[in-house]
């Protein structure tokens, strides 16, 4: 589980609720079902209009990735690739087939399997980079969906506020109800701002960050697999791959600044 996402989401809601308590407000005054329907229902409807149904239905899986996204440890991945390179250099590429069962990263397995099968280097790289591009496209669509709903939520909040003002101004026979009516009308604007800035847009940013990290891992794998296939020295491979990460994260550079 991504602890930062959980803590950040809980903290944002706690700050909002805490401010209501400190300000002496009532939770009941901040609850309005029609306002919630306009904002959340409107954002969902806008997402359905903007994307094909198949893409839109993936929003549930996308949301889960925000909370349950397992990131590979880049230093450990590099160590594994170097270990595979040492095996290939000592015993030959065919010896790597016996280690496939110990490899968790499916992208590494794909590359090693092609290397063992004797696939031409240009074909290997083309297949691996096509896979990388496909992953990038799927992630981009998920982020775009969250960004879309994040843009529309405040707009529907404003629509709901305008609707509330029209209803309130349509019946001003009792001046004592004007204040309460205005407060309810403004709730939709608040709901829209909360939905956009606590849920949709932060989730979109986290998906973008996760995408960058996963593509970095895949790029390291591609460089490593191609180097193994070409028979490069394991130490040289390690130095090449270490350039992708900060010095302090490198397994053999713990004293680096």
Structural domain boundaries in the chain: 1-31, 33-58+73-257
**Residue 254's pLDDT band (cuts 50, 70, 90):** very low
Give the CA radius of gyration of the chain: 26
Q: Do 128 and 141 touch, CB atoms closer than 8 A?
A: no
Euclidean distance between CA atoms 185 and 192, whole angstroms: 12
The 3-state DSSP class for residue 237 equals helix
pLDDT digits (tens, 9 = 90+) for 2-23: 889 999 999 999 999 888 888 7
pTM: 0.82
Q: CA 127, 129, 130, 134 torsion: positive or negative?
A: positive
- The whole-angstrom separation of Cα 164 and Cα 159 is 9
pLDDT at 251: 60
What mean pLDDT do residues 143-163 have?
93
For residues 86 and 235, what is the distance between their CA atoms, to the nearest angstrom? Answer: 9
Residues 6+ apart with CB under 8 A from 238: 78, 82, 252
pLDDT of residue 27: 78
Of 106, 115, 111, 104, the residue nearest 127 (C-alpha): 111
């Amino acid at each position: 589980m991504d602890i930062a996402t959980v803590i950040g989401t809980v903290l944002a809601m706690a700050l909002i609720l805490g401010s209501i308590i400190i300000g002496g407000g009532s939770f009941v005054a901040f609850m309005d079902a029609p306002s919630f329907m306009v904002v959340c229902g409107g954002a969902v409807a806008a997402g359905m209009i903007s994307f094909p149904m198949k893409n839109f239905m993936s929003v549930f899986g996308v949301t889960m990735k925000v909370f349950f996204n397992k990131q590979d440890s880049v230093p450990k991945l590099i160590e594994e690739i170097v270990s595979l390179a040492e095996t290939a250099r000592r015993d030959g590429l065919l010896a790597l087939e016996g280690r496939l069962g110990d490899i968790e990263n499916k992208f590494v397995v794909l590359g090693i399997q092609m290397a063992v099968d004797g696939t031409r280097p240009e074909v290997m790289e083309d297949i691996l980079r096509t896979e990388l591009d496909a992953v990038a496209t799927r992630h981009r669509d998920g982020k775009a969906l969250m960004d879309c709903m994040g843009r529309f939520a405040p707009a529907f909040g404003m629509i709901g506020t305008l609707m509330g003002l029209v209803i309130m101004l349509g019946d001003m026979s009792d001046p004592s109800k004007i204040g309460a009516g205005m407060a309810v009308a403004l709730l939709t604007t608040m709901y829209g701002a909360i939905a956009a800035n606590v849920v949709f847009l932060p989730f979109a940013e986290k998906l973008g960050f996760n995408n960058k990290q996963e593509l970095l891992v895949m790029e390291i794998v591609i460089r490593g697999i191609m180097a193994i296939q070409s028979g490069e020295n394991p130490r040289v491979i390690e130095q090449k791959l270490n350039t992708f990460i900060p010095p302090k994260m490198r397994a053999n550079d713990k004293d680096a600044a």
